[in-house]
Amino acid sequence: MLNRTFYSFLNNLLDILPPYGRALDVRGYLASKALKRCGTRLRISANVNIYNPQYVTAGNNVYIGYNTYLGGGEVFLDDEVIIGPFCSIVAGNHTLKDGSYRYGPYEYGTIFIGRGTWLGSHVTVASNVKIGKGCCIAAGSVVVTDVEDNEIYGGVPARKIS
């Protein structure tokens, strides 16, 4: 398993490659060595930041889009998850201490994204959320509550739309 610093260095170096084609496979292969667990054919676009990769689990045929951030606590991406560009999947929160969030202790959480789910561009998923299998989350949505299987959600905060 690659350590976080070395993976980050390699990932930044690979950002000179285009955000499509074989470069997706190369980035995915390197990331798979740093993740907690990873299935086959992880594909990662350019400028993706996986903070604490040792807490991220990815299934088979997962795609992570351009300029996406995954971090905080435990993140589980089931098989065939598609994450669009500019998404934020943040499995943690800052807490308040002495009237300030700057020095409050960090609170680690979990995020689970089910098989075959698609997050459109600019989606934010907050800590301690479970998104079921076969879901579609509309572009620009902020998911702060659990989403049942095979639902379409959208908005801020995200609500069932179909």
The length of the chain is 162
Which residues does 86 contact at the CB level (< 8 Å), separation at least 6? 65, 66, 67, 68, 121, 122
Q: What is the mean pLDDT of residues 65-90?
A: 97
Q: Which of 6, 13, 37, 94 is catalytic?
A: 94
User: What CATH number did the domain enclosing 67 receive?
Assistant: 2.160.10.10
Whether residue 112 has pLDDT greater than 90: yes
In terms of C-beta density within 10 A (0-12 exposed, 13-18 middle, 19 or more buried), how is residue 85 classed?
buried
pTM of the model: 0.92
DSSP string, 18-29: -SSTHHHHHHHH
Beta-ladder partners of 92: 108
Better-scored residue on pLDDT, 151 or 103: 151
Q: Provide the number of structural domains found in the chain.
A: 1
Q: What are phi and psi of 139, to 5 degrees?
A: -55, 140
| Domain that includes residue 92, residue range | 4-160
pLDDT at 1 over 70: no
**What average pLDDT score do residues 69-88 get?**
97
Q: What is the pLDDT of residues 8-46, one digit of tens each?
A: 777 777 778 888 889 999 999 989 999 999 999 999 999
| 131 has a pLDDT exceeding 70 | yes
Average pLDDT, the chain: 93
Phi, then psi, of 128 in degrees rounded to 5: 60, 40
Residue 43 token pair: 């594909």
**What is residue 134's predicted lDDT score, i.e. its pLDDT?**
98
Can you give the pLDDT at residue 2? 66
Residues 49, 71 contacting (CB under 8 angstroms): yes
Active site residue 94: yes
The residue behind tokens 């907050």 is 126
Residue located via tokens 């951030």? 69
